[in-house]
Structure 1
């Protein structure tokens, strides 16, 4: 989780960015002008700042320059504007801006820019190990599909038919039952798997599964998926 400051004079944009970033698990502070942004920066440290260029009191480039000259530009700053010229973007980058987002900001570009900004000073993480998905014999000779859930980053392969002796939870699916029951069981584990892998982020899960967020929430409630548990598993 990162501490992020969003600076924009438009209430709708502040609310939208705050909702998306909170959904990603970040802590978000809001400022509607440069004055509030200065006060927020003086009173706290941020891992990332999203800074609008055109504001009524002081423009974002000027504020960026203030932070740079005073030694307070210790975090990546992503500039935002719907009317900025190329020269303005180049100047902001020269002063020390990490990147530039043009409004209207798409969800994909926002998440990618934030991820890259937060990763600037982080060491590279090793790729997660692959998890096998075997089919084993179930009770009474029925086929059981074993899928991993829980989102553990260092998951090892699950042996077919073996007891769950390690930290990796798994879910067995008995295929010798009515289709509706088997389908609901599979869908629940499917969504739990993606929730755990994406750290409980509904935004990312919606993108991965191709569902609208409203439909996704409704589906998870219908299946009885515990969202709080998924986030706890992801952070463990």
Structure 2
């Protein structure tokens, strides 16, 4: 889990990015202008910043220059814009921006850029995503796709007990649904995707394909649920809306 600061003057963009990144397991903080972003950075150092270029008070490139000059550019920064030129993107990169995303931002490009940014931050000794203490959880969970998950035996036993209580899961899965078997010997991102595919496939089967009831059961908005299922590759052809 990482703390990501989203700086954008458009409420819709802030809400959309917050929803997507929160669903990915991150803590998302938002700022609607450079002033709020400055105030946040003065208090805390996020693991990653998504920074809009065109804002009403101070543009993102100027804010990036300020942080660099003040020695505060100690976290990966990804610039965003729907109107920026190539020259602007190059300038931001020279100042220290890690990447540039053009609006409207494609979901896969966003997730890939965020993952790369967090990995870069960890490699360079910048603030890394929060991990679980070994004393509390028996292991450390690394950045997506970067290290394998190590889970305490007690936690594994608890999960196995839970799976035992649902031993009819496979039988209730829709045709073509992914297996509920999840390996702990794979990178965290792959294990989590496998779990989520099985989780949603189970609820789709239990609710007979009703997206409305699945949305209620999982606590997701219908539009968010559709996007998540598409991202995971869960078959929807037999679903009832």
Same fold flag (TM > 0.5): yes
Partners of 1:24 and 1:201 within 8 A in 2: no
Match of 1:56 in 2: 56
Distance 2:16 2:169 in 1: 38
Change (3 A) 1:181 1:103: closer
Match of 1:26 in 2: 26
Shift of 1:23: 0.8
Distance 2:215 2:56 in 1: 43
Distance 1:54 1:216 in 2: 38
Match of 1:85 in 2: 85
1:85-139 deviation line (CA, Å, top 9, x unaligned): 00000000000000000000011000000000000143598775xxxxxxxxxxx
1:23-66 deviation line (CA, Å, top 9, x unaligned): 11111110000000000100111100000000000000000000
1:183 equivalent to 2:171? Answer yes
Change (3 A) 1:89 1:167: same
Q: Name stretches of at least 5 consecutive residues in structure 1 with no aligned partner.
A: 129-152, 156-165, 173-179, 223-236
| Higher strand residue share | 1
Match of 1:40 in 2: 40
Q: How many residues align?
A: 182
Change (3 A) 1:217 1:6: farther
Distance 2:114 2:73 in 1: 17
1:1-236 counterparts in 2 under 5 A? 1-122=1-122, 153=149, 167=156, 183-184=171-172, 190=179, 193=182, 198=189, 205=196, 215=211, 218=214, 221=217
Distance 1:82 1:5 in 2: 19
Residue 55 of structure 2 aligns to a residue in which SS? coil
Match of 2:223 in 1: none
Partners of 1:48 and 1:76 within 8 A in 2: yes
| Higher helix residue share | 2
Distance 1:197 1:84 in 2: 35
Change (3 A) 1:116 1:154: same
1:189-217 deviation line (CA, Å, top 9, x unaligned): 846849x9648978x946xx89x9x9498
> Larger C-alpha radius of gyration, 1 or 2?
1
Q: Name stretches of at least 5 consecutive residues in structure 2 with no aligned partner.
A: 124-141, 205-209, 219-241
Distance 2:212 2:147 in 1: 28
Partners of 2:47 and 2:121 within 8 A in 1: no
* TM-align CA RMSD: 4.4
Partners of 2:48 and 2:77 within 8 A in 1: yes
